[in-house]
Structure formats: C-alpha cells, structure tokens
C-alpha cells in the first residue's frame, strides 16, 4: 500500500478529455476492458472454483504473478478477515488453507506477513483441488 491522491473529474470534463486526448482515451479504454475482464474472471471463479483454489488465486494476484513488472514474494499486510471477504468464505476456512499452504511449502506465513512461492500456482492450475464451495 502506498499513499495516494484521488482526483475527481466531472463527467462532462472527462468526456471532453477523452475526445480531445487520444492517448488518455486509449489508456482509459484499456483499463476499463482489463477491469471488466477481471470482474468476469472473478465471477466465474466464485461460481465454479472451490474456496481453496480461490484463496490460492487471490494470493497469487496480490503477489502480482503474471504481471509485466513481475511477481513480488512478500504480500502487502492483509488480515485473514479481509482475505475471507475477497475469497467469499469464512476466516476459519482461510486459516485452515493458509496453514495447509504453509505445510506444503507454497507460502511462508507468520504474524509478520505472507511470502508466496511459485509452487502455489499448482493449486490454481490443478483441476482436482478439494471441493468446498
């Protein structure tokens, strides 16, 4: 997490800027399409994948696996409650799977934070993860 500033652009001004500045328009449309794709993937994930696989996918996304700037092993500090909300399950299930992932060597996990190992991808790519919707 980093300090950020938010700029609110009125709708009329944004429309004008999108028409006038083609590079802004291109970047904005690319962002919106990527966001839409991510929402669709999240919906499919929620409907068809077990909570174990959803947690693994969430941890990999937080670790930025598959992003152009490369993965980072250490995750931003995030509580099990927040992970449970992101995954759509309970904190106790997140705790169970985090301990399982740690025992299997997929993550390093303690009160200081989480470090994700590349091997966690096997949970997401494996079709036979324990079913727990």
pTM for the structure as a whole: 0.59
Do 31 and 90 have their domain in common?
no
pLDDT in tens, 91-112: 999 999 999 998 988 888 776 6
Q: Is 3 part of any domain?
A: no
- CATH no. for residue 92? 1.10.10.10
Do 30 and 66 have their domain in common?
no
Q: Is 71 part of any domain?
A: yes
CB 39 within 8 A of CB 84: no
Q: Is 133 part of any domain?
A: no
Q: State whether the Cα torsion 16-19-20-23 is positive or negative.
A: positive
Q: Is 34 part of any domain?
A: yes
Do 88 and 26 have their domain in common?
no
Structural domain harbouring 17: 11-48
How many folded domains does the chain comprise?
Answer: 2
Do 101 and 74 have their domain in common?
yes
Do 57 and 80 have their domain in common?
yes
CB 89 within 8 A of CB 96: no
Do 79 and 30 have their domain in common?
no
Average pLDDT across each block of 10 residues of the chain; the chain has 133 residues. List them in order: 88 95 94 90 71 88 70 76 91 92 86 79 62 44
Instruction: For residue 108, give the H/E element and its range.
Output: strand 107-110
58, two tokens: 């969430």
């Amino acid at each position: 997490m980093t300090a950020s500033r938010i700029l609110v652009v009125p709708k009329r001004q944004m429309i004008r800027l999108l028409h006038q500045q083609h590079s802004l328009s291109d970047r904005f449309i690319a962002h919106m399409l990527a966001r839409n794709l991510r929402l669709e993937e999240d919906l499919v994930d929620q409907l068809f994948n077990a909570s174990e696989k959803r947690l693994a996918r969430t941890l990999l996304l937080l670790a930025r696996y598959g992003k152009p700037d490369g993965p980072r092993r250490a995750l931003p500090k995030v509580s099990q409650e927040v992970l449970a909300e992101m995954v759509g399950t309970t904190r106790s299930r997140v705790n169970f799977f985090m301990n399982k992932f740690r025992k299997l060597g997929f993550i390093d996990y303690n009160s200081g934070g989480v470090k994700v190992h590349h091997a966690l991808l096997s949970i997401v790519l494996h079709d036979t993860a324990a079913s727990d919707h």
